[in-house]
Structure 1
């Protein structure tokens, strides 16, 4: 009982000791160092979240551009669609300029996972537009040449020439390859639309183009990024469907009415074994 009555005194002494240790720790070099680390990690986390948001915006606008481009095969004025797609991609390019601004002076590899989904989708949209216009594959160098931006120096006015600084964003080879791999799926859908509209020339062009892409990926093999080897199976499926459509058009195209070609193509594509590769 007496021991409990005396507990108040040591408790006060303990509080005084803790208060004194706390004031001592606040000036400790170890605590000061950890506060610096905390600030650096918070700054990095905030930048990472901003990059994730920008990447999401790039992904959404790139997908909208791809959906728009699929209308090319079914409209009477495809040039209007292509011009609208170019305007949309310019908006996406400006978003990538904001990503380049965030990465100014930073190690890109520390933040790569934050923005890689959007960059892959952008590569897919740009390469899709380029194929429709030129019937060829856009190169990595051509894409990177478009991602050069003029920005004002930090703390300077927005009038560009005096305090202007050139910012560049470089798409990595892995992001380029992944975007091209996704492009093959869009080209397969374009083939379906073309057949449905009675266009029997585009599927054969797409078949040859997809075969070239497939051969290029085959040279990479297992030496490329892991994600590329995973998408190679989907690429083979898209190529198989397009080649199957070309076979149907070549063998039975003359005897099938044009408005029924898409139905025949869809039914034959459904018979393809998803586990069966392309030789």
Structure 2
């Protein structure tokens, strides 16, 4: 027998009709526009609304730029990881193809930093520090890793702040063109002396571009550079130890056994980074130990920086242990392998004996 009765409507009422007045049809003349609210406080709250909209738009721009800077900085690190030096520091310019690839990413980073300079002026620099912090840390990690490979020392805070200010793009990218001129002929000192003499005498491209350069400098001086906090600098150095660990593991796997075992690991400890003859694995292990000793002596405290640094300190200690265990494995089992043995590294990243 089919059910009888009235179907319950969607509105929930017992009858089949909608309860309450029906809404007027769209487009009818009964719909009238409500007048704009008026009152003595309306202009004030309208201004508050505009300020909040500007704040959210500014915050989104900074976050997006920080993410793009992080992505480009990671590509710089991946490019540097392809190097296979036998000794550290390099004490010579990077290969041309590496420099050319890095310059493309660094040019993008400097463009992104310059684009958010107006958003980080005065108090906004501190207000949005948490939003721009990840990008700055990753960029300093990339620049610091390159600085370490070239000079064997940690990058200083003043130099790191110069890179992240967003005001020195021409100088940062111009240095690479000077290195290319040095490869074509003459020394770096000669190139700088010739350019200086041309600028003083009013000849050459430096003098011709003087007026344009002055106008650009006036525009830049009206803006304050992006401030790099010392906390972000220290956290970036923490992260750099992870890249040093990866570089060391790869160097251990690709270095002949005869260059790892005979010479003691502690050789050259007194000379430090000034010793140009240190093999890459031993140099990395020694410098990682020195960084671990320095970081463990920091008074982190209970501030937000202390919480972040405490987590990174634990990761850094694990990175140093991985390099030490790799060396211990080579030293203990070295007698079982023939002279000249090198690990075969496959495409997947594993090793096969």
**2:111 is aligned with 1:94:** yes
- TM-aligned CA deviation for residue 106 of structure 1: 4.1
Unpaired runs of 5+ in structure 1? 1-18, 152-157, 268-279
| DSSP-derived class of the 1:149 partner | coil
Larger Cα Rg: Structure 1 or Structure 2?
2
Q: Which of structure 1's runs of 4+ aligned residues deviate more than 4 A?
A: none
2-structure distance, mates of 1:194, 1:150: 34
**2:219 is aligned with 1:164:** yes
Once structures 1 and 2 are overlaid, which stretch shifts more, 216-225 or 113-122?
A: 216-225
2-structure distance, mates of 1:110, 1:149: 20
| Structure of higher RCO (CA pairs closer than 8 Å, 6+ residues apart) | 2
Provide, for residues 6-48 of structure 1, a one-character-per-residue CA deviation record: whole Å limited to 9, x for no partner.
xxxxxxxxxxxxx7xx66x52x232221111111010011010
Residues 41, 253 of structure 1: alpha-carbon distance in 2 compared, 3 angstrom cutoff: same
**2:63 is aligned with 1:52:** yes
- TM-aligned CA deviation for residue 108 of structure 1: 1.4
Residues 249, 173 of structure 1: alpha-carbon distance in 2 compared, 3 angstrom cutoff: same
Once structures 1 and 2 are overlaid, which stretch shifts more, 190-199 or 125-134?
A: 190-199
1-structure distance, mates of 2:168, 2:69: 19
Partner of residue 243, structure 1 = 324
Matched residue count: 239
Q: Is the 8 A contact 1:71 1:81 kept in 2?
A: no
Q: Is the 8 A contact 1:174 1:225 kept in 2?
A: no
Which of 72, 79, 83 is the equivalent residue of 2:95? 79
Alignment of 1:179-190 (within 5 A): 179-190=236-247
* Larger proportion of helix: 1
1-structure distance, mates of 2:68, 2:345: 34
Once structures 1 and 2 are overlaid, which stretch shifts more, 168-177 or 134-143?
A: 168-177
Alignment of 1:24-35 (within 5 A): 25-26=37-38, 28-35=39-46
| DSSP-derived class of the 1:71 partner | coil
| DSSP-derived class of the 1:239 partner | helix
Q: Is the 8 A contact 2:254 2:343 kept in 1?
A: no
Partner of residue 218, structure 1 = 296
Once structures 1 and 2 are overlaid, which stretch shifts more, 198-207 or 124-133?
A: 198-207
Q: Is the 8 A contact 1:52 1:115 kept in 2?
A: yes
- TM-aligned CA deviation for residue 165 of structure 1: 2.8
Unpaired runs of 5+ in structure 2? 1-33, 87-92, 170-210, 261-278
Once structures 1 and 2 are overlaid, which stretch shifts more, 80-89 or 33-42?
A: 80-89
Partner of residue 125, structure 2 = 108
1-structure distance, mates of 2:315, 2:168: 38
Provide, for residues 223-271 of structure 1, a one-character-per-residue CA deviation record: whole Å limited to 9, x for no partner.
25311111111000000011122223334445435323879xx89xxxx
Q: Is the 8 A contact 1:203 1:245 kept in 2?
A: no
Q: Is the 8 A contact 1:48 1:114 kept in 2?
A: yes
